[in-house]
Amino acid sequence: MISLQRLVGGGDIFFDLLEQSADEAHESVRIFVRHLSSPDPAGLDQFAAVRRKEKRITEEINQRLTQTFVTPLEREDIDALAQALYKVPKTLEKFAERFLISPPNLPRAGFQRQAELLQQSMETLQAMVRELRSSPDLAKIKDQNQKLQYLEGQADNLMVERLKDLYNAPHDAISVVALKDLYDLLEKVIDRCRDAGNIIVQIVLKNS
Q: What is the pLDDT of residues 71-121, one digit of tens each?
A: 889 999 999 999 999 999 999 999 999 988 888 777 777 788 999 999 999
Hey, what amino acid is at 98?
R
Hey, what amino acid is at 33?
V
Q: Where are the domains of the chain?
A: 4-207
pLDDT of residue 10: 55
CB atoms within 10 A of CB 105: 10
Short-list 99, 110, 84, 116, CA closest to 181 = 99
pLDDT tens readout for residues 8-38? 445 689 999 999 999 999 999 999 998 887 7
pTM given for the model? 0.89
Q: Report yes or no: 52 and 116 within 8 Å, Cβ to Cβ.
A: no
pLDDT of residue 11: 65
Task: Name which of 31-35, 136-140, 157-161, 172-176 the model is least confident about.
Answer: 172-176
Which CATH superfamily includes the segment(s) 4-207? Phosphate transport system protein phou homolog 2; domain 2 (1.20.58.220)
pLDDT of residue 1: 29
Angle, alpha carbons 43-60-2 (nearest 5°):
165
Spatial distance between the Cα atoms of 96 and 29, rounded to a whole number of angstroms: 11
